[in-house]
Structure 1
Amino acid sequence: MSYILGIFDPDTDYANQLMDYIKRKQKAITQVRIFTNAKSLMEYLEHDKLNVLLLNEEINTDEVLHRNIKNICILSEGNFAREEENCHVIYKFQSAQKVMEELFSYFPLEDTLIRAFLSGNGSLNIISVFSVGKENERQVFSYFLASEYAKIKRTLYINLDLFSPWTKNSGSNFEKGLSEFIYYLKQSHPNLISKMNGIITKINNLDCIQGVSFGPDIYELVPEDIYYWIKTLKESSEYEVIIFDVGCFFESTLELFRSSNELLLLIGEQRLEEEKYLNFRSQLQLAGYGDVLVQITEVAISKDVENRLGYYTPNDLYSEEYRDIVMEYVKSFQEV
């Protein structure tokens, strides 16, 4: 799927600078087109579409109205006062980052063709769980959240951590597991779902894919692999909920975050963790992943719960005692 942004502004220097920024920083926008006159725009629209057109305020919207333009946003040089215009307005002479932040606030990516495609028919809910400082808590939270979903929906838990906590007595097959599946995924195997089903283990009523046999295997994944995996899951999977327990951070996990319906981010109370979380948000913004920021739901982990969690081992994930500790932190996500 593509997301195409048009810029119709006679100021070609401005338009080119904005285009260069978008290409470098806004990875969700797949194509940027510049138009300097209405004729070139209309010729383009005869065969192609624009998700958003950024339009110089001196150009009347009546000149550019077309069925192949989904949204129009005015680029204003000052006080835009044409009250009859039913368009959002952005002040053009601010940083390109601010321009795009305002654009995304008016037209969130979940309203675009990309988000519509990733959302499919609404039958599959993909949840990614991540943390910048609560690795142990993230894994047990993810597993328990998946277990709660599994009580009422067909649910799959996928561990994408470099170091899986699962032991062999939990049923994991480390010789034929996620590492082998990644090989087939990178080949765009036509029977990918069948290969995935072959590595799934069951714990109670929850289906699980329990991690790689060698941590660096995860880094073999490229964004195109994630895109193909999610696309296949949307088209062919029988699951209603899939929870990714994400214990790594690179470009491919960002593609996963974008493809998810929800991104739950665990945050502790320690000052260092708060600083790391702020840095994580800053990295996303600077690298052009501002659309991921709006997907984040923060999940607070208190010091009291953190201290109690420290006494648990992976095998305690199956105990009712652990369930009581974590329940309060997932109950708000149970009503699905």
Structure 2
Amino acid sequence: MKKNIFAVCDLEVDYAHNFMEYLNQKRSIPFEIQAFTSVEKLASFTQKNKIAILLISDKAMCPQVKELDIDKVMILSEGVHDPRLDQYPSVYKYQSSAKVLREVMACYGTETKEEEESLAEKRPMEIYGIYSPVNRALKTTFALTLGQILAKNKVVLYLNLESYAGFEGLFETAYEFNLSDLLYYVRQENTNLIHKLSTVVCSIENLDYVPPVLSPVDLHETTQEEWERLLREIALHSNYEVLLLDIGESACQTYQLLEKCKKIYMPVLTDWISQAKVEQFEKLMRIWDMKEILGKIEKLKLPYYTSKERGVEYVKQLMWSELGDYTKELVRREMG
């Protein structure tokens, strides 16, 4: 199924091409990307192609563009523009490409109904879980390592479902949106959930992730039906090929989420207290007749990882550590 088209038109050649290059690197975006540096080329293209989103600079906007058959026109503004353009939503040009994209998708998602037309090709999506009843077993460290390695060849989304993931401290970043916002859209049965997802997603290297919740209450209050809807929408209407669930104990539907996983990686420790915790978990799965979950679990004794780096660099270095080598071998052996 052909993707809808997201077009950028800017008279500044470097900006148009650089922004298009950024968008093309974002493999999760469910659009075909086109860039134009003149209105004439844009108009010629629209004669045979339907554009869903046009982001056009205020200097390029003209009466000819208004006559084109385009679903949604947005102005790429340099700060002050002709008041006659106020009828169109605008995005400030001189900010990061990530913020420009986030604002565009937020606006498009607010006004476009998902059921009118699917924006992404439906492709199989595999769900992998990372879970352990043992604390301090490098669960999240392994999950971030695995995610970055898989994202070199696939389109991957990572969701952390822990009470206190600490990502603002880990990445040294203040997030504007997080998983709580996405879960709010789910509860509202928002028909543009995938477009809303694009406004929340952040990236490290090629790995997309949704910043975790700030309050554990948002995880506790999410029902099984709401988790299922979120996973279903991502599977059916996004470009993601792999979904990594870093599952903590705060999600009330922990075991139902584990059932959704194709494979579950369980980091463990060798001390007898840790082993006793794993044994209790396994006993509970048998009592609850959830033996299928046990069959999906692979226990991992991970090599220790430490680094002098902090913030984003700490996470990036994971791939080049002993833990990274261990994870690459795991991926090569099990996923080809």
Superposition TM-score, scaled by structure 1 size: 0.57
Structure 1 residue aligned with 2:283 = 282
Counterpart of 2:201, as a letter, is I
SS of aligned partner of 1:131: coil
Structure 1 residue aligned with 2:322 = 325
Structure 1 residue aligned with 2:197 = 196
Distance 1:169 1:309, change over 3 A: closer
Structure 2 residue aligned with 1:260 = 261
1:306-321 to 2 correspondences below 5 Å: 306=304, 308-309=305-306, 315=312, 317-320=314-317
Matched-pair contact (CA < 8 Å) for 2:220–2:252:
no
Cα offset for 1:298? 1.3
Cα offset for 1:195? 1.5
Matched-pair contact (CA < 8 Å) for 1:163–1:215:
yes
Structure 2 residue aligned with 1:184 = 185
Q: Report the Cα distance in structure 1 between the residues aligned to 2:238 and 2:196, rounded to whole angstroms.
A: 12
Structure 2 residue aligned with 1:167 = 168
Structure 2 residue aligned with 1:233 = 234
Superposition TM-score, scaled by structure 2 size: 0.57
Structure 1 residue aligned with 2:134 = 133
Cα offset for 1:149? 0.3
Deviations 1:226-260 (A, max 9, x none): 21112212211201111111122554121211111
Structure 2: stretches of 5+ with no match in the other structure? 1-121
Distance 1:329 1:147, change over 3 A: same
Distance 1:323 1:291, change over 3 A: same
Matched-pair contact (CA < 8 Å) for 1:175–1:213:
no
Q: Report the Cα distance in structure 2 between the residues aligned to 1:197 and 1:139, rounded to whole angstroms.
A: 23
Matched-pair contact (CA < 8 Å) for 2:222–2:251:
no
Counterpart of 1:220, as a letter, is E
Distance 1:224 1:173, change over 3 A: farther
Counterpart of 1:324, as a letter, is S
Q: Report the Cα distance in structure 2 between the residues aligned to 1:222 and 1:153, rounded to whole angstroms.
A: 30
Counterpart of 2:320, as a letter, is R
Matched-pair contact (CA < 8 Å) for 1:134–1:266:
no
CA RMSD of aligned residues (A): 2.5
Deviations 1:38-58 (A, max 9, x none): xxxxxxxxxxxxxxxxxxxxx
Cα offset for 1:162? 0.9
1:150 maps onto 2:147 in alignment: no
Matched-pair contact (CA < 8 Å) for 2:148–2:319:
no
Deviations 1:250-275 (A, max 9, x none): 54121211111111111111111111
Matched-pair contact (CA < 8 Å) for 2:222–2:252:
no
Matched-pair contact (CA < 8 Å) for 2:161–2:250:
no
Higher alpha-carbon deviation: 132-141 or 171-180: 171-180
Distance 1:136 1:314, change over 3 A: farther
Deviations 1:120-179 (A, max 9, x none): x87211111011114460011000100000001111111111112322683755442111
Structure 2 residue aligned with 1:220 = 221
Counterpart of 1:297, as a letter, is E
Deviations 1:37-96 (A, max 9, x none): xxxxxxxxxxxxxxxxxxxxxxxxxxxxxxxxxxxxxxxxxxxxxxxxxxxxxxxxxxxx
Counterpart of 1:131, as a letter, is S
Q: Report the Cα distance in structure 2 between the residues aligned to 1:277 and 1:148, rounded to whole angstroms.
A: 27
Q: Report the Cα distance in structure 2 between the residues aligned to 1:231 and 1:124, rounded to whole angstroms.
A: 10
Cα offset for 1:287? 2.0
SS of aligned partner of 2:298: strand
How many residues align structurally?
Answer: 212
Higher alpha-carbon deviation: 134-143 or 199-208: 134-143
Structure 1: stretches of 5+ with no match in the other structure? 1-120
Matched-pair contact (CA < 8 Å) for 2:201–2:209:
yes
Matched-pair contact (CA < 8 Å) for 2:144–2:315:
no
Q: Report the Cα distance in structure 2 between the residues aligned to 1:136 and 1:276, rounded to whole angstroms.
A: 12
